[in-house]
Amino acid sequence: MKRMISFLLLCTFLCSLLVGCGTTSITNTGDCYIYQLDTDGDALVKVAYNYKTEDANSRVDEMLTELKRASTDAEYQSTIPSAVDVNAYVLADTELTIDFTSAYSDLAYTQEPLIRSAIVTTLCQIDGVDTVSFTVDGQPIVDADGNQIGAMTEDSFIIDFTNRVKMDQSADLTLYYASKDGNSLVQEKREVEYNSNTPLAKVVLAELMKDPQTEDAHPAISSDVNVTGYALSEGICYLTLDAGIQNQSINVSDEVAIYAIVNSLIELDSINKVQITVEGESESAVQTSQLSGLYEKNMNMVSQFVEEDVNEE
């Protein structure tokens, strides 16, 4: 009997150590789940977790820390990338607002909804948090139409049984790539699938950096170019690119690079003019050409039209 009591006391002691350390593991038990990205970055992994704090504010801070903590597990990676930081967060009543640094805007359009869903779903498990809103340097994030996304809950996201955020929308895009000699534009039409929380303009820009399926055409925008800012107001798309646009190694003229972007964006019903800045400077040059004012579609740059749709696989 004494041996049995000693054994039970030892088990109780070991369990208390594990809970006290707030150990994370991929199990079915815990106070809550932390939703992390899998190693491929395209699905969510539920990681059981035991809170180490008591009140709602402390638990928000605790969860944000865990979501950003570098993973040592081979099955998942941290949800919040190392380049993205939290400026501040405010919990008013049960409404949580998180302000991220500008690096959040650089997240790939295919991954941002997944990261956002993981953060929101994790935080909404906290007793005292009903909704979560995101801002970037104080500005609310927006949807494909330029409208504020606003408060989100775990029900704001469509997650199927494989834990993947669904690409729940499709769009027929008309895109413009560089011709073989880099001096004119080639039109391509394709159908793409995307998540409805992603601005369609960002989908267009991401597609422009991929290889076209039209023979003898190539991207006019290098995949090294980052979109650091995007806004849509009254039909005008305000686009900010990083300095990568000024140092492209691909063989295209400045006009082709500019109008590949402009023409492709203006094909969207919501956009009729585009303003491009580099690193926030409206007087910057792409390579040798100075950017100036608002751009409208220029079909004189197009040397080849493609009528049939090319479906993206």
What CA–CA distance (Å, rounded) separates 147 from 128? 27
What CA–CA distance (Å, rounded) separates 36 from 46? 7
pLDDT of residue 200: 84
**What b/e sequence results for 145-158 when a residue is b if at least 16 CB atoms lie within 10 Å of its CB, and e otherwise?**
ebeeeeebebebbe
What CA–CA distance (Å, rounded) separates 111 from 107? 7
Of 303, 200, 284, the closest CA to residue 240 belongs to 284
**How do residues 290-305 score in pLDDT, each as one tens digit?**
677 789 999 999 998 8
Q: 23-37, 51-65, 182-196, 218-232 — which one is most confidently predicted on average?
A: 51-65
What CA–CA distance (Å, rounded) separates 128 from 51? 14
Taking 50 as the threshold, does the pLDDT of residue 19 lie above it?
no
Q: Which residues contact 190 (CB under 8 A, 6 or more apart)?
A: 172, 173, 175, 207, 213, 309, 310, 311, 312
Tell me the pLDDT of the chain averaged across its residues: 80
Q: 137 or 30: which carries more pLDDT confidence?
A: 137
Tell me what the mean pLDDT of segment 126-142 comes to: 94
**How do residues 251-283 score in pLDDT, each as one tens digit?**
889 899 999 999 999 999 999 999 888 876 655
CA 176 to centroid of chain Cα atoms: 23
Tell me what the mean pLDDT of segment 2-26 comes to: 39
Question: Cβ(168)–Cβ(190) under 8 Å?
Answer: no
Taking 50 as the threshold, does the pLDDT of residue 68 lie above it?
yes
Q: Which residues contact 9 (CB under 8 A, 6 or more apart)?
A: none
What are the tokens at 175?
A: 């895109």
DSSP output for 273-295: EEEEEETTBTT-BSSSSBP-S-B
Q: Give the pairing type, strands 95-100 and 131-136.
A: parallel
In this structure, the number of other CB atoms found within 10 A of the CB of residue 167 comes to 15
What are the tokens at 139?
A: 């500005």
**How do residues 187-223 score in pLDDT, each as one tens digit?**
999 998 876 667 788 889 889 988 898 888 999 988 7
225 φ, ψ to 5°?
A: -80, 130
DSSP output for 29-40: -SSEEEEEEETT
Amino acid at 242: D
pTM, full prediction: 0.51
Of 21, 228, 193, the closest CA to residue 107 belongs to 228
pLDDT of residue 83: 92
